[in-house]
């Protein structure tokens, strides 16, 4: 018979014979609840049936539509230097 043990997460311990008989049902349960099932033999944990980790989203394009460009991005932000314009102050 399955029993719930007091670990950090709620884990279900199930004997191997019972797991064998209820494998498909337990797989559906793990997929639905995302809680692992510990499979035991003679009361000792020997295996764990757990959910597959979610596939990480691609980092490419993750900030799309989060910024706005205002004005001309090619125009300098500060006034042009006098050395570049040719209008240098003579000392």
Domains, the chain, in order of start with CATH, read 1-51 (3.40.1620.10)
Of 24-38, 43-57, 73-87, the poorest mean pLDDT is in 73-87
- Look at residue 9 in the predicted model and tell me its pLDDT: 53
Is pTM beyond 0.95 here? no
Residue 57 DSSP one-character state:
P
Rounded distance between C-alpha atoms, residue 89 and residue 91, angstroms: 6
Give the residue with greater pLDDT, 62 vs 20: 20
3-state SS assignment for residue 18: helix
- Look at residue 7 in the predicted model and tell me its pLDDT: 45
């Amino acid at each position: 018979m399955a029993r719930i043990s007091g670990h950090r997460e709620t884990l279900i311990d199930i004997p191997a014979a019972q797991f064998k008989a209820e494998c498909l049902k337990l797989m559906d349960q793990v997929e639905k609840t995302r809680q692992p099932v510990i499979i035991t033999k003679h009361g000792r944990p020997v295996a764990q049936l757990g959910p597959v980790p979610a596939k990480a989203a691609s980092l490419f394009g993750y900030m799309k539509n989060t910024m706005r460009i205002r004005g001309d991005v090619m125009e300098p932000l500060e006034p042009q230097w006098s050395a570049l314009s040719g209008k240098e102050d003579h000392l």
